[in-house]
Amino acid sequence: MGKVLVIGAGGVSTVVVHKMASLPDVFTEVLLASRTKSKCDAIASRIGKDNIKTAQIDADNVPELRKLINSFKPDLVVNVALPYQDLHIMDACLAEGVSYLDTANYEPPEEAKFEYSWQWAYRDRYRNAGITAILGCGFDPGVTSIFTAYAAKHHFDEIHYLDIVDCNAGDHGKPFATNFNPEINIREVTQKGKYFENGEWIYTSPHEIHKPLNYPEIGPKESYLIYHEELESLVKNFPTIKRARFWMTFGQEYLTHLRVIQNIGMAGIEPVMFDGREIVPIKFLKAVLPDPGELGENYKGQTSIGCRIRGIKDGKEKTYYIYNNCSHEAAYKETGAQGVSYTTGVPAAIGAMLYLKGIWKKPGVFNVEEFNPDPFMEQLNKLGLPWVELHDVDLEL
Ligand code: NDP
């Protein structure tokens, strides 16, 4: 059906390419390209299918990207490198007239700040070029945004309160590790908290607001209010929302490590001089921390991510909880990657599939909740991320 260029060869990419290889009727050819070609080769050889080729690419180099796109001629470019590459890859796609999909919004390397404005600025250019950009097609953002769209379509006349709850109750056996790229992860969880209420953004100190929440099949876990990127687009696309918040669980050991890392300056993004050369502390830290892509082997337990929603249906107030639980062990057994890579990679492959099938294809730049959620929800059940709905339950929030 179509050719896809996948950029990046980390944990998420491992799952994306694995799923694509299992659907050869949809993904007839996959070119996996990344900064370090040997990592692409390792993924391709583990999967062992003929329809995966590999290449070296510096995705910050737009002319190089254009050359690769022009020679392979993909129908879609799937960006599972880092958020720093988003705009360069979007530029190359625009210049070559090819559609684009990613799982995380742009973040400038020199500032720990992420927002959609940079990518939304491409709307007119993508629309005029007749190509599609699908933004944030992982789990959160991604599935959580689609859960919200599904709830709005089928269960509510108006959504008033949205709480996205993200629990990782897994244990990888390491004293400290991050579940996806350490640099991006630490930048995300150490920033100020922020939530939306009555048309305004309210800021909190990092991890200031927290409470125990009960997660299905897991039990109570301390959950911390943090800012997460899908809140920005969801409150725009569902304007009846009065309050939108995001909660993530952290263990005490993780928070203690994080505090020490910050206190000793290892989370810094400004270059420092070391032995006569400049290094960026957080990039050095990434080099010594466990590779998230390698955590899978001993990872036990599961993730539970979902949306807790309160609103109005037929004039009556109702509550609704939709979630997926994903087992790290099952994810590893299937793909060789842990659950966080799995829950991100499967939705990216589904988004790519819906694009190639022409179901999620329209000119412009879109967040995933702007597409029809139904075909996506159907594929989640088929491709390893089944979801559960609970109606009129205590949301605890
Ligand atoms: P990894 O760090 O494991 O992988 C990133 C890959 O990108 C590496 O292979 C790296 O190359 C490659 N890369 C980095 N810079 C360049 C460049 N300039 N040119 C080409 N390749 C480059 O990250 P993850 O797989 O954990 O995460 C991938 C993405 O998924 C991130 O953007 C992350 O934010 C996002 N994500 C989204 C989630 C969601 O639910 N929406 C959840 C988790 C992650 P090298 O191997 O040489 O370092």
pLDDT in tens, 298-321: 999 999 999 999 999 999 999 999
336 lines ligand 1 (CB under 6 A): no
pLDDT at 110: 86
293 lines ligand 1 (CB under 6 A): yes
User: What CA–CA distance (Å, rounded) separates 109 from 283?
Assistant: 11
**Average pLDDT over the chain, rounded to an integer:** 96
pLDDT at 146: 98
Q: Is residue 342 part of a domain?
A: no
Question: Could you list the residue range(s) of the whole structural domain that residue 14 is in?
Answer: 2-135
11 lines ligand 1 (CB under 6 A): yes
142 lines ligand 1 (CB under 6 A): yes
16 lines ligand 1 (CB under 6 A): no
Are the C-beta atoms of residues 350 and 103 closer than 8 Å to each other? no
Residue nearest to atom 9 of ligand 1 (CA): 9
Q: Is residue 349 part of a domain?
A: no
Residue nearest to atom 3 of ligand 1 (CA): 10
Same domain, 131 and 152: no
Give yes or no for residue 293 having a pLDDT over 90: no
Q: What are the residues facing 215 on neighbouring strands?
A: 219
Q: Is residue 368 part of a domain?
A: no
For residue 162, report the distance from its CA to the centre of ligand 1, in Å. 28
pLDDT band (50, 70, 90) for residue 188: confident
- Residues sharing a CB contact under 8 Å with residue 193, sequence separation 6 or more, in sequence order: 203, 204, 205, 206, 207, 208, 209, 224, 225, 226, 227
Same domain, 48 and 159: no
Give yes or no for residue 64 having a pLDDT over 90: yes
Domain with residue 273: its CATH number is: 3.30.360.10
For residue 84, report the distance from its CA to the centre of ligand 1, in Å. 9
- Residues sharing a CB contact under 8 Å with residue 277, sequence separation 6 or more, in sequence order: none
Give yes or no for residue 157 having a pLDDT over 90: yes
Residue nearest to atom 26 of ligand 1 (CA): 180
Pairing relationship of beta strands 364-367 and 132-135 according to DSSP bridges: parallel
Looking at ligand 1, which atom is closest to the CA of residue 57? 20
pLDDT at 187: 86
Give yes or no for residue 202 having a pLDDT over 90: yes
pLDDT at 59: 98
For residue 108, report the distance from its CA to the centre of ligand 1, in Å. 15
Same domain, 200 and 329: yes
- Residues sharing a CB contact under 8 Å with residue 354, sequence separation 6 or more, in sequence order: 360, 371, 375, 376, 379
Same domain, 319 and 186: yes
pLDDT band (50, 70, 90) for residue 294: confident
Same domain, 202 and 120: no
Last-in-domain residue among 135, 154, 188: 135
Same domain, 224 and 116: no
Q: Is residue 24 part of a domain?
A: yes
Same domain, 221 and 87: no
For residue 184, report the distance from its CA to the centre of ligand 1, in Å. 9
pLDDT at 86: 98
Same domain, 216 and 72: no
Quote the number of domains for the chain.
2
9 lines ligand 1 (CB under 6 A): yes
User: What CA–CA distance (Å, rounded) separates 192 from 327?
Assistant: 30
Same domain, 42 and 24: yes
For residue 161, report the distance from its CA to the centre of ligand 1, in Å. 32
For residue 9, report the distance from its CA to the centre of ligand 1, in Å. 7
139 lines ligand 1 (CB under 6 A): yes
Looking at ligand 1, which atom is closest to the CA of residue 143? 40
Q: Is residue 380 part of a domain?
A: no
184 lines ligand 1 (CB under 6 A): yes
User: What CA–CA distance (Å, rounded) separates 78 from 134?
Assistant: 9
pLDDT band (50, 70, 90) for residue 111: confident
Give yes or no for residue 156 having a pLDDT over 90: yes
Residue nearest to atom 34 of ligand 1 (CA): 104
Looking at ligand 1, which atom is closest to the CA of residue 12? 25
Give yes or no for residue 212 having a pLDDT over 90: yes
Give yes or no for residue 332 having a pLDDT over 90: yes
Mean pLDDT calculated for residue range 87-110: 96
Domain with residue 44: its CATH number is: 3.40.50.720
Looking at ligand 1, which atom is closest to the CA of residue 88? 18
Judged by average pLDDT, the poorest of 148-157, 194-203, 253-262, 340-349 is 253-262
User: What CA–CA distance (Å, rounded) separates 17 from 26?
Assistant: 12
pLDDT digits 0-9 by tens, 345-361: 999 999 999 999 999 99
pLDDT digits 0-9 by tens, 221-238: 999 999 999 999 999 999
Give yes or no for residue 119 having a pLDDT over 90: yes
Last-in-domain residue among 135, 158, 185: 135
For residue 107, report the distance from its CA to the centre of ligand 1, in Å. 13
Same domain, 83 and 159: no
Q: Is residue 359 part of a domain?
A: no
Same domain, 94 and 170: no
Q: Is residue 373 part of a domain?
A: no
How far from 172 is each of 65, 298, 346, CA to CA, in Å? 36, 6, 21
Instruction: Write out the two tokens for 319.
Output: 């509550």
For residue 356, report the distance from its CA to the centre of ligand 1, in Å. 23
Give yes or no for residue 113 having a pLDDT over 90: no
140 lines ligand 1 (CB under 6 A): yes
64 lines ligand 1 (CB under 6 A): no
User: What CA–CA distance (Å, rounded) separates 256 from 137?
Assistant: 31
For residue 10, report the distance from its CA to the centre of ligand 1, in Å. 6
pLDDT band (50, 70, 90) for residue 168: very high
Q: Is residue 327 part of a domain?
A: yes
Mean pLDDT calculated for residue range 54-80: 98
Same domain, 117 and 154: no
Last-in-domain residue among 80, 113, 135: 135
pLDDT band (50, 70, 90) for residue 112: confident
pLDDT digits 0-9 by tens, 234-267: 999 999 999 999 999 999 999 999 999 999 999 9
Secondary structure class of 48 (helix, strand, coil): coil
pTM metric for this prediction: 0.96
For residue 217, report the distance from its CA to the centre of ligand 1, in Å. 30
For residue 315, report the distance from its CA to the centre of ligand 1, in Å. 45
